[in-house]
Every structure is written in structure tokens, then in C-alpha cells.
Amino acid sequence: MRQTSNPDESTSRWSVLIMVCLGAFIAPLGMASVNVAIPALAEELSANGILVSWIPTAVLVANIVCMLPAGKLADIWGRKRVFQLGIVINALAGISAFFATDMLWLLAMRFMQGTGSAMIFATSMAMLISVFPSHRRGLPLGLNAACIYLGLTLAPALGGWVTQFWGWRYVFLMPLPLVAVVLALSYWRVTDEWREASGGRFDWPGALLLAAWAVTLVLGFTHLPSWQGIATLLASVLFFTGFVVLQVRSKAPLIRVQMFTESKFFSLSLVAAVLMYASSYPLGFLLSLYLQYVLGLSAANAGQVMLSQALAMACVAPFAGKLADFISARILTSVGCVMTLLGLYLLHRLQLGSTAIYISVALALVGVGFGFFSSPNNHAAMQAVSASEAGVASATLNLARVSGNLVGMSLVNLIVYSYIGERTLSKALAQPILSTFLQALELSMTFVGLALLVSIMRGRLSEENSG
């Protein structure tokens, strides 16, 4: 139920949109801004390649563990309330990371940042669905997607400037001014609350099984090809199977598994999201290493090069979201996949002496591609579910994105282990870092190619159903 009557009478839709979009920018800003600071951070804390790879991975694990539980809690407890709590947790974890004296402390705070961002992601689209009618959701969802990727790709530029002029610790404090604005909006301008399952029960066994699956999945990939890694991956399969069985039998599941069989369109949208996002998340991490250790750029200059993807994404995503109200998702997402493939192919041709302009053009193509994919894909997926399950559907769509990120990052961690291992990062490792980057790009292109096939297949399914 909705706590107040009509969003037009009690809450400005645009206040909700501004609050959600700022939150959608804060969460990825905290996640990705650290990437450019990794060389300075690794030097001060004496971190090797394996520990460094856990800096982005810890956030993803927390996202996986907390995304669905946060979505369910939001439907029970209130979407705005969970959103606010996520903002606060994310900010407090960043402040604590500022004082980190060793990698374990830092990684623990990264996990807490991921917990906060999961709560933000799990509620953002659900709140937009709650206040915007179905025929006017394209632009808001497009702006929300643009802010997420603006945060992910603008973060390296901001992180680079802050690292170079103030030091890596101050990167963790960057979101605080925006945090203050969001909390002020949420308390004084957004007075509504939305909950569709008030008084419902929370599935703690399901949440624990989901957490066990995420942790064993990452640890399994990290320890491949040893027998411990294989055994851990098998355990992750068992945990996931147990989670699915429990959700089918539970009277109050974290997610109704029947959602996937009731709407194949929704299921294929999730599959496409997993594949596309598996291709994207490791890109910022590895590109930061390439630009600084291989090309020898400063942190600030590396961030500026990576800015082109953010600008392209920010320009295209709202436009693509608006188009999604009128044009089939099959067309828009397929165009996005093709553009992303072209950009990744250009990046795959990088050498030890490639130019910053060439890299910026390639990244801009990737940004355009993701702009055309993300907004229409989100719009199509949310249109395929009922309003009563908007919170869980929003969390599931974000879970698909983060699951893709986690799979991509886990496989890249395996490549990092193969080429770099426990050696301390330095410019002497320029060739292994380049080899790692190029092999990761081959993996990314494979994922995008599969996403293109799924997008086409989903479009045909939509046409068959409409006919």
C-alpha cells in the first residue's frame, strides 16, 4: 500500500526523481572513484595484485548479498526508508575508509559501501514506478540509468583529480556534499512512503543462502584452477539450488520465482542485463591500470581520458529512455549492443604506445552503446511486472546488473592472477597488465555478442505475444 494518497497532491514527482537520480549517482561514485586511486593506495598500503583486485570485488559481493533482501525489506518497511538508510551506510563507510591503515580495514569498508549502494539500487526504480504512470516512465528511468553510469564513468575523472591533488583517502569523502542534499530532499521534500507488502515476513533463510552463494562464487573463481576453487564453485551451485528451491516453497519468499516463468520477456531482459554488465564493470578497473602503468599517465590525466564514456552515456541514456516509450526495446537495445561491440573492438587494438585520443573515441562508442541498451532494457523489464512487485522487480533487475558485474570481475580476477599474481604493481609490469587488459576485452566482446542475440530473441517474443 501507499502511505499517502496521491503523489500529485503530497509529493512532487520531480523531487522524487531528483532524489533518486542523485542517489543513483552517489552509489556508483563511491564504487568506481577508487579505481584511479588504486596505484597510490596500493603503494601506501603495500597491496599486491590479488588484494587490489578485491577493491572492486568486495563492493560487488555486498551488492549481491544485500540487493534482493533490500528490495524485499523496502516492500515491507518502506522504499524511501530503505533508500535513506542505504545513503547513510554508504557515507559512513566512506568516512571510515578514509582512516584505513591496512587493506583488511579498507576491504571491510568497501563491503559496507556495497551494502549501502545495494539498498539505494534496490529502491530507486521502484520509487520511480510508484510516482510515474506507465506511459511516462521512459524519461525518468532513462535519467536514472544515466546517473548510474555517469557515476560509474565520471568517478575515475573525479577520483583522479582528488588523488593527484589531495591524496587517495579524500576520494572516499567526495560523495558527502551530495549525501547531505539527498537526505535533505528525502526528509523535507519527499513526504510520501511506498510499501506494497506492509506487515509481510522477511525470508532470513533465503537471505543467508543467497549470501553463501555469492561468497562461494567469488572465492571459487579466485582459487581456480586448484581443487579448492573447484570445490568452492560446486558449493556455490548447491547454495544457489537450495535458494531457488526454498523460494519456490516459501510462503513469503525474497522473490517469487514464478515471475520468471510468468513473463519470459522479463526473464530475457534480465539475461541481457547480466551479459552486458558482465562486459562493462572490469573495464574501468583494468583501463585505470593500463593508462597509469602502461602509458604512464597521471591519475588526473587517466581520469580525464575515461571521462568520454561518461559524457556519451549521460547524453544518450535519457534520449534512449524517452524513445523507449515509442520504439521497440528490440531495436534500441540491439543498436546499443552493436555500438558497444565496436567500441570494445577498438579498445582491443590498444598497444603499449596508443594515444589518449584513440582511447577516448573508443570509450565514447562504448558509452553510446550502453546508453542505448540500459534505459530501454530497464523500461521493458519494469513494464513486464505488476506494480505490487515493483520493489522486488527493481531489486532483481539491479541484481542482474550486479551479478553480471560480479561474474565479469571474477573472471578478470582469474586473468589478473594468471598474468600478475602476487607481484606488487609497478610500471615494470606494463606488458603483463596490457595482456590482462586485452584478454579481458575478448571476454567482454563475447558477453556483448551473446547479449545482442538475447535482445533480438526477446524482440521476436514480444512481437509473437502482441500478435
The tens-digit pLDDT sequence of the chain (467 residues) is: 444 434 444 447 778 888 888 888 887 777 767 777 777 777 777 766 667 777 877 887 888 888 878 877 887 778 888 888 999 998 899 899 888 888 888 888 989 988 998 888 878 777 887 777 766 666 777 777 777 767 766 777 788 788 878 888 888 888 888 889 888 887 887 766 666 655 567 777 888 888 888 888 877 876 776 788 889 889 989 998 998 888 888 777 777 776 777 667 777 888 888 898 888 766 777 787 888 888 888 877 877 787 787 778 778 877 887 787 777 777 888 889 999 999 999 988 887 777 888 888 998 999 899 888 887 887 777 766 665 565 566 667 777 877 787 778 778 777 877 777 667 666 777 788 888 888 888 888 999 999 898 888 765 544 444 33
What confidence tens digit (pLDDT) does each residue in 272-321 have? 888 988 887 667 777 878 888 888 888 778 777 877 877 787 788 778 87
CB 459: neighbour CB atoms within 10 A?
20
423 Rama sector, left if φ>0, alpha if ψ -120 to 50, beta otherwise = beta
Q: Residues 141, 46: one domain?
A: yes
Q: Residues 51, 185: one domain?
A: yes
What confidence tens digit (pLDDT) does each residue in 448-464 have? 999 898 888 765 544 44
Residues 96-129, buried b or exposed e (16+ Cβ, 10 A)?
bbbebeebeebbebbbbbbbbbbbbbbbbbbbbb
Q: Residues 271, 301: one domain?
A: yes
Residue 291: what pLDDT?
Answer: 84
Question: Does any domain span residue 5?
Answer: no
Q: Residues 301, 392: one domain?
A: yes
Considering only CA atoms, which of 388, 382, 397 is closest in space to residue 75? Answer: 388
Radius of gyration of the chain from Cα atoms?
Answer: 21
Residue 281: what pLDDT?
Answer: 67
CA distance 438 to 345: 10
Q: Residues 232, 377: one domain?
A: no
Q: Residues 164, 90: one domain?
A: yes
The last residue of a domain, from among 184, 216, 251: 251
Question: Does any domain span residue 88?
Answer: yes
CB 16 within 8 Å of CB 79: no
Q: Residues 287, 310: one domain?
A: yes
CA distance 356 to 16: 39
Residue 10: what pLDDT?
Answer: 40
Q: Residues 153, 57: one domain?
A: yes
Q: Residues 139, 266: one domain?
A: yes
Domain ranges, residue 247: 203-251
Considering only CA atoms, which of 285, 437, 458, 447 is closest in space to residue 370? Answer: 447
Q: Degrees (nearest 5) of the Cα angle 216, 217, 221? A: 110
CB 444 within 8 Å of CB 344: yes
**Domain harbouring 391, CATH code:** 1.20.1250.20
Residue 193: what pLDDT?
Answer: 67
Q: Residues 245, 261: one domain?
A: no
Question: Does any domain span residue 197?
Answer: no
Phi, psi of 425 (to 5 degrees): -65, 135
CB 226: neighbour CB atoms within 10 A?
11
Question: Does any domain span residue 312?
Answer: yes
What confidence tens digit (pLDDT) does each residue in 105-114 have? 888 898 998 8
